[in-house]
């Protein structure tokens, strides 16, 4: 039913992260596009022309240590930990930045190489302040691992006796401790090239070089979108999430507080990595048991409000289309943008505020949940909302910022009290002496334990779009989505291409309006034979491409609905997920998410029986009604001020 194209077919310009490659050395014209022979530690292999020594070594099964290098980022070659000997060359070469353009012989672990690496590590430690045991990255720090590997047992060149920089704790999401920075510039490359935000830069020269923000302002006062991608790529403890676990423990230990936890799908597909299991090992139901043993009174499923988001956001889209196409309202903002990624919301606020009215007014599932917990759930269980402590387990550091936005208090209280990352919950579970993989399985608590496969796939790029399409296609056509897509799997919107574009042709004969939407539209005749145009983008560098295209009146300005996620791969690649991260790790997490979706009996949001119940009992005016809009929506004024 759908046709799609990828970003390469829409826009040919390569991202800057692919443009910043080291120039070839003495290229042989006849070798370009061919292969080159290379000998690494006595092992001969052939590699494509231009392959770096590091890449060739990995193909040969030879390990070369790295620090500034990261699979997601452009080449920097600044740390020199990966140096090797190239026969015939006087100096050692950085293997991550040396392209192979002619046959060469390489030695990766000679005495000269080992000594150079040891001295580099010694020099890095000479400027690295702090004790490892008191660092949040203890036992998961790349500098610490290198020091162990190269036998560093004393500070050859001394060690800082006191910190040089004040720790920046201004942000709700990210804490910066530049005393632990090793100037690898991964954070800079992440922010400028990978996400195209540009908060961080290196200033100064020599031993005065430091990574900082514009005018050295605190993070809370610059254009940081709180995505936390810099944290996921920092090799040390220089960047970390703002951790509220002490406050959460205090709430659990307070007998007057009723502490609930909601868990998003992406952490459940990733937390196993914190306990030594392979990426993509799901521990959803083991985690429920662990949370109860930690002391949480109730454990709920964020997928429930992901289903609710689809109903509210999908209804909003249909109403926008009806007003524009039938009523001729030229003030309707199309395409409609998704609004469940707080990093993306912050991005559009900073860089494209003139398009804020294109954002869906629907809150994120996290914030919808918070509003319902302190209203509907509190009434249902006769609990004073002031005694409820609402905690959200999210893959995202930006969710910490989102729950602290002053407008997120439509319940009459702070809707979500604390946001925890996957890493922080893993730490809490370990602190409680719990071996998570060994836990027995248990289900979520009622009434928010019933969700669908559509809620689960919110965790992957394209998941919000797929969930919305499953719902909208059935509501509008009156037919099962399986008649258009096998097993309701809308494959064209899935995948890790930066941008995907899909056209969904609707049939000439459409179904009746369901009871829930009868007060809003009389029929679907105005959509008969129409083509719904949608797009998906993950990572704000790709979001920028779409927004610039829309500004220019290009291809994407013709879309009706666009899903934006701030993080690579969507939520499964969020800034609060386990470290390290890589394309392969994110793909494994996605596989776990889609496997969980396929295991659900109910896979469409509008078929969730508890969703139907909440509209019957609590949100009685239906989607977009007065109470639903008060609790589940926000909107922007023409000047871009975010209000409820």
Selecting among 171, 339, 341, 360, the annotated active-site residue is 360
Residue 359: phi, psi to the nearest 5? -65, 135
Is 558 inside any structural domain? yes
Query: Same domain for 67 and 215?
Result: no
**Mean pLDDT, to the nearest integer, of 356-385?**
97
* Matching residue, tokens 């043993």: 293
For a pLDDT cut of 90, what percent of the chain falls above it? Answer: 92
Selecting among 71, 247, 379, 407, the annotated active-site residue is 407
Query: Same domain for 143 and 88?
Result: no
Is 98 inside any structural domain? yes
**pLDDT for the residue 449:** 87
Question: For position 158, which CATH number holds?
Answer: 3.30.70.20
Is 548 inside any structural domain? yes
Is 398 inside any structural domain? no
Contacts of residue 314, defined as CB under 8 A and 6 or more positions apart, other chains included, come to 468, 471, 472, 475, 605
Selecting among 340, 396, 403, 567, the annotated active-site residue is 340
Selecting among 286, 402, 424, 466, the annotated active-site residue is 402
**Mean pLDDT, to the nearest integer, of 510-526?**
95
Is 458 inside any structural domain? yes
Based on the residue annotation, tell me whether 402 is a catalytic residue of this protein.
yes
Residue 161: phi, psi to the nearest 5? -90, -20
Distance, in Å, from the CA atom of 280 to the CA atom of 593, rounded to the nearest integer, reads 8
Is 78 inside any structural domain? yes
- Kindly report whether the peptide bond that precedes residue 580 is cis, defined as omega within 30 degrees of 0: yes
Selecting among 298, 399, 400, 545, the annotated active-site residue is 399
Based on the residue annotation, tell me whether 407 is a catalytic residue of this protein.
yes
Tokens of 320: 């926008």
Of the residues 241, 266, 286, the one at which a domain ends: 241
Tokens of 35: 């292969």
| pLDDT tens string 283-323 | 999 999 999 999 999 999 999 999 999 999 999 999 999 99
Which range (73-77, 426-430, 449-453) has the least confidence?
A: 449-453
Beta bridge partners of 420: 393
CA atoms within 13 A on the CB side of 145: 12
Q: Are residues 228 and 423 in contact, defined by beta-carbon separation less than 8 angstroms?
A: no
Tokens of 155: 């500070």
For a pLDDT cut of 70, what percent of the chain falls above it? Answer: 93
Q: Rg of the Cα trace of the chain?
A: 26
**Mean pLDDT, to the nearest integer, of 368-396?**
98
**pLDDT for the residue 450:** 86
Is 565 inside any structural domain? yes
**pLDDT for the residue 397:** 98
Query: Same domain for 98 and 213?
Result: no
Contacts of residue 138, defined as CB under 8 A and 6 or more positions apart, other chains included, come to 132, 144
| pLDDT tens string 33-72 | 699 999 999 999 999 999 999 999 999 999 999 999 999 9
Distance, in Å, from the CA atom of 541 to the CA atom of 347, rounded to the nearest integer, reads 10
Selecting among 571, 596, 605, 644, the annotated active-site residue is 571
| pLDDT tens string 538-548 | 999 999 999 99
Q: Taking each helix axis from N to C terminus, what angle separates 540-551 and 342-351, rounded to the nearest 10 degrees? A: 40
Based on the residue annotation, tell me whether 340 is a catalytic residue of this protein.
yes
Distance, in Å, from the CA atom of 540 to the CA atom of 244, rounded to the nearest integer, reads 27
Based on the residue annotation, tell me whether 316 is a catalytic residue of this protein.
yes
Tokens of 189: 């490359």
Kindly tell me if the per-residue pLDDT of 84 is higher than 50: yes
Kindly tell me if the per-residue pLDDT of 640 is higher than 80: no
Based on the residue annotation, tell me whether 39 is a catalytic residue of this protein.
no
Task: Judge if pTM exceeds 0.85.
Answer: yes
Contacts of residue 371, defined as CB under 8 A and 6 or more positions apart, other chains included, come to 363, 410, 411, 415, 631, 632
Is 95 inside any structural domain? yes
Query: Same domain for 91 and 124?
Result: no
Q: Taking each helix axis from N to C terminus, what angle separates 245-253 and 422-431, rounded to the nearest 10 degrees? A: 50
Query: Same domain for 55 and 172?
Result: no
Based on the residue annotation, tell me whether 131 is a catalytic residue of this protein.
no
Task: Name the nearest CA neighbour of 182 among 153, 147, 227.
Answer: 147
Q: Which domain holds residue 461?
A: 308-338+451-622
Q: Are residues 318 and 339 in contact, defined by beta-carbon separation less than 8 angstroms?
A: no
Tally the domains of the chain: 3
Kindly tell me if the per-residue pLDDT of 430 is higher than 80: yes
Query: Same domain for 313 and 457?
Result: yes
Q: What is the mean pLDDT of the chain?
A: 93
| pLDDT tens string 451-499 | 899 999 999 999 999 999 999 999 999 999 999 999 999 999 999 999 9
Kindly tell me if the per-residue pLDDT of 236 is higher than 50: yes
Selecting among 286, 313, 424, 474, the annotated active-site residue is 313
Cα separation values, 244 from 232, 248, 291, Å = 18, 6, 16
Query: Same domain for 132 and 102?
Result: no
Task: Report the sign of the C-alpha dihedral through residues 70, 76, 79, 80, in that order.
Answer: positive
**pLDDT for the residue 642:** 40
Question: For position 104, which CATH number holds?
Answer: 3.10.20.740
Tokens of 386: 């002031």
∠ Cα 283 289 290 (to 5°): 80
Mode of pairing for the β-strands spanning 642-643 and 635-636: antiparallel
Beta bridge partners of 642: 636
Q: Are residues 578 and 352 in contact, defined by beta-carbon separation less than 8 angstroms?
A: no
Selecting among 316, 466, 563, 596, the annotated active-site residue is 316
Query: Same domain for 469 and 600?
Result: yes
Distance from CA of residue 402 to its chain's centroid? 14
Of the residues 57, 89, 109, the one at which a domain ends: 109
| pLDDT tens string 178-197 | 999 999 999 999 999 999 99
- Kindly report whether the peptide bond that precedes residue 534 is cis, defined as omega within 30 degrees of 0: no
Kindly tell me if the per-residue pLDDT of 28 is higher than 50: no
**pLDDT for the residue 324:** 96
Based on the residue annotation, tell me whether 313 is a catalytic residue of this protein.
yes
Query: Same domain for 90 and 137?
Result: no
Q: For every residue of 53-98, which 3-state class applies, written as one string?
A: HHHHHHHCCCCCCCCCCCCCCCCCCCCCCCEEEECCCCCCEEHHHC
Query: Same domain for 589 and 533?
Result: yes
Of the residues 88, 109, 130, the one at which a domain ends: 109
Cα separation values, 11 from 352, 504, 512, Å = 20, 21, 39
- Decide which of 549 and 207 is more confident: 549
Query: Same domain for 92 and 126?
Result: no
**Mean pLDDT, to the nearest integer, of 421-448?**
97
Question: For position 503, which CATH number holds?
Answer: 3.40.950.10
Q: Taking each helix axis from N to C terminus, what angle separates 422-431 and 284-294, rounded to the nearest 10 degrees? A: 60
Terminal CA-CA length for the chain = 38
**Mean pLDDT, to the nearest integer, of 405-419?**
96
Query: Same domain for 203 and 95?
Result: no
Tokens of 312: 């509210």
């Amino acid at each position: 039913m759908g046709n799609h194209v990828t970003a390469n077919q829409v826009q040919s310009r390569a991202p800057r992260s692919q443009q910043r490659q080291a120039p070839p050395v003495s290229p042989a014209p006849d070798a370009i596009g061919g292969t080159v022979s290379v000998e690494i530690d006595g092992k001969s292999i052939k590699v494509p022309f231009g392959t770096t020594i590091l890449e060739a070594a990995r193909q040969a099964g030879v390990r070369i240590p790295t620090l500034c290098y990261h699979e997601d980022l452009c080449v920097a070659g600044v740390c020199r930990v990966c140096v090797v000997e190239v026969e015939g060359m006087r100096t050692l070469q950085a293997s991550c930045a040396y392209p192979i353009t002619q046959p060469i012989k390489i030695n990766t672990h000679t005495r000269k190489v080992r000594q150079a690496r040891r001295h580099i590590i010694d020099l890095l430690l000479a400027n690295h302040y702090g004790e490892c045991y008191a660092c949040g990255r203890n036992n998961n720090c790349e500098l610490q691992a290198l020091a162990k590997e190269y036998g560093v047992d004393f500070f050859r060149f001394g060690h800082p006796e006191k910190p040089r920089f004040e720790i920046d704790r201004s942000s709700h999401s990210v804490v910066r401790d530049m005393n632990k920075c090793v100037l690898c510039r991964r954070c800079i490359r992440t922010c400028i090239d990978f996400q195209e935000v540009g908060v961080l830069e290196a200033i100064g020269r020599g031993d005065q070089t430091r990574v900082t923000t514009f005018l050295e302002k605190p993070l809370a006062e610059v254009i940081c979108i709180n995505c936390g991608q810099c944290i996921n790529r920092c090799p040390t403890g220089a960047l970390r999430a703002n951790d509220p676990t002490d406050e959460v423990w205090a709430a659990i230990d307070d007998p007057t507080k009723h502490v609930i936890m909601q868990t998003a799908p992406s952490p459940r597909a990733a937390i196993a990595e914190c306990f030594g299991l392979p990426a993509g090992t799901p521990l959803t139901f083991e985690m429920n048991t662990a949370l109860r043993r930690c002391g949480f009174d109730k454990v709920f499923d964020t997928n429930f409000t992901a289903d609710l988001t689809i109903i509210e956001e999908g209804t909003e889209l249909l109403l926008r289309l009806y007003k524009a196409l039938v009523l001729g309202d030229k003030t309707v903002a199309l395409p409609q943008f998704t609004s469940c990624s707080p990093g993306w919301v912050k991005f559009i606020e900073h860089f494209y505020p003139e398009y804020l009215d294109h954002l869906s007014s629907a809150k994120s599932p996290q914030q919808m949940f918070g509003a319902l917990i302190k209203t509907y759930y509190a009434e249902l269980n006769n609990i004073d909302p002031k005694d409820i402590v609402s905690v959200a387990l999210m893959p995202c550091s930006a969710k910490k910022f989102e729950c602290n936005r002053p407008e997120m208090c439509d319940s009459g209280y702070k809707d979500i009290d604390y946001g925890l990352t996957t890493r922080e919950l893993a730490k809490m579970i370990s602190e409680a002496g719990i071996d998570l993989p060994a836990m027995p399985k248990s289900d979520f608590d009622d009434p928010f334990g019933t969700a669908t496969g559509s809620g689960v796939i919110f965790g992957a790029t394209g998941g919000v779009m797929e969930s919305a399409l499953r719902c909208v296609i059935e509501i509008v056509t009156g037919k099962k989505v399986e008649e258009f897509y096998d097993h309701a799997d809308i494959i064209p919107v899935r995948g890790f291409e930066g941008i995907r574009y899909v056209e969904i042709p609707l049939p000439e004969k459409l179904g009746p309006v369901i009871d829930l939407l009868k007060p809003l539209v009389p029929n679907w005749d105005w959509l008969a034979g129409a083509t719904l145009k949608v797009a998906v983008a993950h990572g704000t560098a790709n979001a920028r491409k779409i927004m610039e295209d829309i500004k220019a009146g290009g291809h994407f300005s013709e879309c009706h609905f666009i899903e934006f996620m701030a993080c690579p791969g969507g939520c499964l690649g969020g800034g609060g997920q386990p470290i390290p991260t890589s394309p392969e790790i994110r793909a494994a997490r996605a596989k776990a998410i889609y496997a969980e979706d396929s295991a659900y009996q109910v896979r469409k949001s509008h078929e969730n029986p508890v969703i139907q119940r909440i509209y019957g009992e609590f949100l009685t005016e239906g989607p977009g009604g007065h109470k639903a809009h008060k609790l589940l929506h926000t909107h922007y004024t023409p000047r871009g001020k975010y209000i409820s």
